[in-house]
A and B are shown apart, each in its own frame.
Chain A
Amino acid sequence: GAVVSQHPSWVICKSGTSVKIECRSLDFQATTMFWYRQFPKQSLMLMATSNEGSKATYEQGVEKDKFLINHASLTLSTLTVTSAHPEDSSFYICSATPSGYNEQFFGPGTRLTVL
């Protein structure tokens, strides 16, 4: 149990385009999902906390208009990188927390490369 999927697993796009990444909890409901960004050989950097049915809470320094988060259901959250630029290239990882628990279960990550 506690499986989280992400789609796509990797994406290459041109500068200026928008990219949507989906995060799904497959066998549990998650009122809270988290979005992270990870640079090579570094730790996970929390970008935002996504709560079902409400606006996401962004960490300091993360542009909410650039990284749009939608958590429309208890099993799906999406991250849209708008007007992507090469500096947005990174490994994006989501995690989901079952309702009432602390455990975070991570997705496999999405490798974004912006040309």
Chain B
Amino acid sequence: GENVEQHPSTLSVQEGDSAVIKCTYSDSASNYFPWYKQELGKGPQLIIDIRSNVGEKKDQRIAVTLNKTAKHFSLHITETQPEDSAVYFCAASTHNTNAGKSTFGDGTTLTVKP
């Protein structure tokens, strides 16, 4: 089955700096890669996703890049703000199989210091 590894497990940055979280996956059939933000005591929230036919996707301060050959994808947050502090999870799944069942990384706790 799919295995997703996520690094780092914790990340602390100064407000205004950039943050990068990286994930690798093992199943070359995976073609959908979402990123979730989870605040304390809440459910995960989808913040951005990318499909395997695209190398990069950007939404304001958030961007995701995908390298299919190397089987890794990354989340980039620019101009970080204290409200970006949360746990971020990456995931991988195969479209149209397993009804969208995803394999999640172990999460990265991001702390943005004012």
Which A residues are closer than 8 A to B by beta carbons?
A: 4, 6, 31-32, 34, 41-44, 46, 49, 51, 93, 95, 97, 101-109, 111
Contact assessment for A43 and B100 in the assembled complex, using a CB-CB cutoff below 8 Å? no
Contact assessment for B49 and A109 in the assembled complex, using a CB-CB cutoff below 8 Å? no
**Given A43-B105, A44-B89, does the pair A105, B46 have CB atoms closer than 8 Å?**
yes
Contact assessment for A103 and B46 in the assembled complex, using a CB-CB cutoff below 8 Å? yes
Which B residues are closer than 8 A to A by beta carbons?
A: 32, 34, 36, 41-46, 49, 89, 93, 95-96, 98-102, 104-107, 109
Which of A31, A103, A111 is most buried by chain B, counting CB atoms within 10 A of its CB?
A: A103
Q: How far is the CA of A89 from the CA of B89 in the complex (A)?
A: 22
**Given A102-B32, A102-B93, does the pair A108, B43 have CB atoms closer than 8 Å?**
yes
Contacts of B96 in A (CB 8 A): 102
Q: How far is the CA of A115 from the CA of B105 in the complex (A)?
A: 31
The DSSP consensus for interface residues of chain A is strand
Of the candidates B36, B41, B104, which one forms a contact with A109 in the assembled complex, judged by CB atoms under 8 Å apart?
A: B41
Contact assessment for A34 and B101 in the assembled complex, using a CB-CB cutoff below 8 Å? yes
Of the candidates A34, A41, A104, A108, which one forms a contact with B46 in the assembled complex, judged by CB atoms under 8 Å apart?
A: A104
Contact assessment for A43 and B106 in the assembled complex, using a CB-CB cutoff below 8 Å? yes
Contacts of A6 in B (CB 8 A): 43
B75 to chain A, nearest CB (A): 15
Residue ID in chain A nearest B102 by CB atoms: A104
Of the candidates A34, A42, A103, which one forms a contact with B34 in the assembled complex, judged by CB atoms under 8 Å apart?
A: A103
